[in-house]
Structure 1
């Protein structure tokens, strides 16, 4: 089963670690640093924080069992789909003092992490895709937080880098399997072999992670057909 790829990892501990990484990083920024561009096209570092804070509205709706009510309310405001929601969340906070946005995110995400851990990995919560296990949803959040931490340049120590890459490889492989992606992926001791549409490539673990989240650097050289098949996470 696809879930077997994740069995050696604790999604809640990872979520805590990635949230703490972002909190440490955000807490040390000056005014100039907040305005630097991130790796999210069109978003500054401040905008990434605004996105994370706004996303808690959805996270809490999942926990409260009222996702459809939230989507209906957002649709009345002309917000349809995740892309619109993300941009709306950022716009809503651009005129708010950044310290207030940071406090909002810190409080709301802390509540999300506490509630998810208390529910346990097997508990089902409401999502846009229907009832879904808390543990698997947490792994999706783990990936998003790690991706955005990289987007804004939050430091990763040498001691944690390898372990962090390993769980991200596992989450990427899980997401591809969960989505029944039309791509063949095989993992060796230090590489990933991928094949789709008659095209094959061998990627390092970090390259595979970057491919799954759409963060391969420009000019990387991976065939666009294969890159499209491998992208499976935010």
Structure 2
């Protein structure tokens, strides 16, 4: 009798997952660097799969958030006050404005600026102690105070998804890397929790299931009640509709690059659930 042995799931929110997360983010960052280093002044303006953004805007966005993270860590460690978080409802529009303000800067200058600020940020990540990884709270511009580990997680989101965006714009669509897609599985539920559209959720209380395939996957039961989304890893038996994804389609669907996965069960409910979230 043979027994299937599944690899242990890596918890990047725990100190034990730090090395894995930073290793994966570094690989995704290098992929992004290779893509932008291969541009010239003409291809720099190539449209991407991220609505309204050209390659130069993807780089501008990474400069904006990277420098913003450095500033936030510095202010937090100096004990200085922060403005109230801006909230995620208008996040997409504000990020768009911030990314496009670099359009007037030369291509080589923006790329060099990203690499310089990123080197500083990753030096900061490397230096985080186990206690700081989970216990140091740094106020995010849009989401408010977050534990330090969230910042390399958001960097993984940015470098992996925006590399996908650039490749898609160049006609070279391919899945996210296995390591990136698998590592992102749990964070996608947090993204969903924070992007529920209040208007779409009015008077809409329901439950549904999500299955994600692969060694790092599983099944989760989600519940929407009074406009709030909760989730737990559990059996999805009895759910009126269950969405089945591979890790790549799960991440790209949550970030609304396309409506991936397959829905089994109540088709009308599935249709409504897919339109329950706003884009960031």
Question: TM-score range, shorter-chain basis?
Answer: 0.7 to 0.9
Structure 1 residues 2-55: Cα deviation after superposition (integer angstroms, max 9, x where no partner): x97545742222222222111121111122221111111111111111111122
In structure 1, the residue matched to 2:124 is 115
In structure 2, the residue matched to 1:212 is 254
Aligned residues: 222
SS in 2 for 1:19: helix
Tell me by how many angstroms 1:213 deviates. Answer: 1.5
Question: Of the candidates 210, 213, 220, which is equivalent to residue 185 of structure 1?
Answer: 210
- The runs of 5 or more residues in structure 2 that have no matched partner are 1-8, 197-206, 225-239, 264-269
SS in 2 for 1:16: helix
**C-alpha distance in 1 between matches for 2:94 and 2:118:** 17
State whether residues 12 and 138 of structure 1, in contact with CA within 8 Å, keep that contact through their aligned partners in structure 2: yes
**C-alpha distance in 2 between matches for 1:171 and 1:194:** 13
State whether residues 193 and 201 of structure 1, in contact with CA within 8 Å, keep that contact through their aligned partners in structure 2: no
SS in 2 for 1:93: coil
State whether residues 187 and 193 of structure 1, in contact with CA within 8 Å, keep that contact through their aligned partners in structure 2: yes
Does the alignment pair 1:226 with 2:264?
A: no
Provide the TM-score with structure 1 as the length reference.
0.74
In structure 2, the residue matched to 1:77 is none
* Structure having the larger proportion of residues in strand: 2
SS in 1 for 2:149: helix
Does the alignment pair 1:165 with 2:181?
A: yes
Higher alpha-carbon deviation: 142-151 or 60-69: 60-69
Residue 70 to residue 103, structure 1, CA distance change in 2 (3 Å) = farther
- RMSD over equivalenced CA pairs, Å: 3.9
* Structure having the larger proportion of residues in helix: 1
Provide the TM-score with structure 2 as the length reference.
0.64
**C-alpha distance in 2 between matches for 1:81 and 1:57:** 20
- The runs of 5 or more residues in structure 1 that have no matched partner are 75-79
SS in 2 for 1:127: strand
**C-alpha distance in 2 between matches for 1:213 and 1:19:** 19
Tell me by how many angstroms 1:156 deviates. Answer: 9.8
Does the alignment pair 1:24 with 2:24?
A: no
Tell me by how many angstroms 1:118 deviates. Answer: 0.8
Question: Of the candidates 217, 231, 245, which is equivalent to residue 203 of structure 1?
Answer: 245
Structure 1 residues 166-200: Cα deviation after superposition (integer angstroms, max 9, x where no partner): 11223324555x75987543445477767767443
Does the alignment pair 1:103 with 2:91?
A: no
Residue 55 to residue 161, structure 1, CA distance change in 2 (3 Å) = closer
